[in-house]
Amino acid sequence: MRKRLPPLEQIEAFIEATRAPTFREAAERCALSPAAFSRRIQAFSAHMGLALFERRGGALRLTEAGARCARELEPAYLELRRAAAAVARETAADRTVRLSLSHSLAVGWLIPRLEALRAAHPDVHLALTTARDTAALRRGEVDLAICYADIAVDGLIAQPLFVVTVAPVAAPAVAAAFAADGRDLSRQRLLAVAQPPDVWGQWAAATGWPNGLPAAATFDVQHAAYEMAARGFGVALAASPSVGPYLDAGRLVPLGLPAAPAPLDGAYRLVAPHGRPRREVKRVRDWLVSAARATPDAFATARVAVA
């Protein structure tokens, strides 16, 4: 009858014992107590029917049989570990979906919903990259991108995700003072994101607000404008849905002024390369579309229809 192979954990203990300076260090590498490690070595020695170690001068040394056993087993053991690690990496890579989107949309919309994504697809790992454009998508560094309407998507597949509306918001104390001061925006410090440009001017044109708004302080990241406004430093032109967490926390409140579609029709698009996506990518794509449809417009009651 063919002799059974020794358990892999016994082979691992033996190989680590030959590679480490002491049994104690080898036991640590195997995440075992010294006593448990010694029992594994003894069990492996019994299985092989060989004396693998002997004590010389107060230290354990390989016997001739033990040295031969190590020479034969170590290459196979290391190759098995390498192959197992490679398979694990490939499996993890297959489960990873890489998504790029703007910092503001990530912080204000997606991150608060990641628990829902994890609950719906616990075996999918989402890796986020913050970028407004499609450069990473075109280089193959991400699987999907969420882009605003000012980003070129030629040669890619783009589908509408949601329409953004914008409206003025401020800290509650600033909003109260604004109402008491005759709702005069020209006397306020205006805050806005730098891209797309002149969002305050476009909001004023869309809502019929009188000319004469002061120049706005602009920020590379939308949430910098939100944070400045929340700390009482001005009035921000906020976008739904990215302002949602600030409204939910009561740090910002609408000023009661009209809302309008964001510049360039306020469209965010979900963008992907041509070709059949991996199953995990399709699941994340479908979830993003569903989550976007379920996202309420924070300024819906104040929206202005623009011809």
Residue among 73, 66, 60, 64 nearest 11 (CA): 73
What pLDDT score was predicted for residue 304? 42
- Does this model's pTM top 0.85? no
What pLDDT score was predicted for residue 285? 96
Low pLDDT (below 50) residues in the chain: 302-307
What pLDDT score was predicted for residue 174? 94
Per-chain mean pLDDT for the chain:
87
Q: How many angstroms separate the CA atoms of 214 and 216, rounded?
A: 6
CA angle 128, 129, 133 (to 5 degrees): 130
What pLDDT score was predicted for residue 92? 57
CB neighbour class for 106 (10 Å; exposed up to 12, middle 13-18, buried from 19): buried
Q: How many angstroms separate the CA atoms of 8 and 28, rounded?
A: 17
Phi-psi group of 153: left, alpha or beta (phi > 0 → left; psi -120 to 50 → alpha; rest → beta): alpha
What pLDDT score was predicted for residue 3? 67
Residue among 157, 154, 155 nearest 145 (CA): 157
Which 3-state string (H, E, C) describes 94-152?
HHEEEEEECHHHHHHHHHHHHHHHHHHCCCCEEEEEECCCCHHHHCCCCCEEEEECCCC
What pLDDT score was predicted for residue 235? 95
For each of the domains in the chain, give its residue range(s) and CATH number, in order of start. 8-92 (1.10.10.10), 95-157+271-286 (3.40.190.10), 165-265 (3.40.190.10)
The per-residue pLDDT for range 208-252, each reduced to its tens digit, is 888 678 888 999 888 999 999 999 999 999 988 889 899 999 999
- In our burial notation (b when 16+ CB lie closer than 10 A, e otherwise), range 213-233 reads eeebbbbeebbbbbbbbbeeb
Which amino acid, 216? A
Cα–Cα distances (Å) from 9 to 2, 26, 37, 40, in that order, read 21, 13, 10, 8
The per-residue pLDDT for range 71-84, each reduced to its tens digit, is 888 888 888 888 77
Q: How many angstroms separate the CA atoms of 204 and 24, rounded?
A: 73
What pLDDT score was predicted for residue 88? 66
Q: What helix, strand, coil percent values describe the chain, rounded to 5?
A: 45, 20, 35
- In our burial notation (b when 16+ CB lie closer than 10 A, e otherwise), range 112-139 reads ebeeebeeebeebebebeebbbbebbee
The three-state secondary structure class of 283 is: helix
The per-residue pLDDT for range 162-181, each reduced to its tens digit, is 888 899 999 999 999 998 88
